Amino acid sequence: MKDTPYPCRSLCGACCIAPSITSPIPGMPDGKPAGVACVQLDAEFRCRLFGKPDRPAFCVSLRPSMEMCGNNRGDASAYLGSLEIATRP
Ligand code: SF4
Ligand code: SF4
């Protein structure tokens, strides 16, 4: 059976807020700290750079999954927050 892609939930945005991003983002030249909303996140929690070449590679590689997204935004924030602590240098 072919895997069906896990759908990104609307009005979530947890993965554009919880993780730190170390590469430049248009409008955030030094990337962003953990827990800060990306400036490219619009009011509907969608990425303004989606499908554009200047979307950071980190974001392109981050795919929705049950493990990351959980059942709600709180699950996703908790998972991404724990990952952030685990990968802190
Ligand atoms: S955490 Fe998952 S559901 Fe939430 S915005 Fe990111 S990909 Fe979508
Ligand atoms: S660039 Fe887009 S996908 Fe990446 S963190 Fe910002 S809003 Fe999210």
The pLDDT value given to residue 22: 95
Pocket of ligand 2 (CB under 6 A): 16, 25, 38, 40-41, 47, 49, 55-56, 59
Closest CA to 38 of 7, 17, 14, 12: 17
Give the mean pLDDT per block of 10 residues along the chain (89 residues). Answer: 78 97 97 97 96 96 95 96 85
Alpha carbon distance 28, 2 (integer Å): 38
Ligand nearest to the CA of 53: 2
The pLDDT value given to residue 1: 54
Q: What residue ranges do the domains of the chain occupy?
A: 14-86
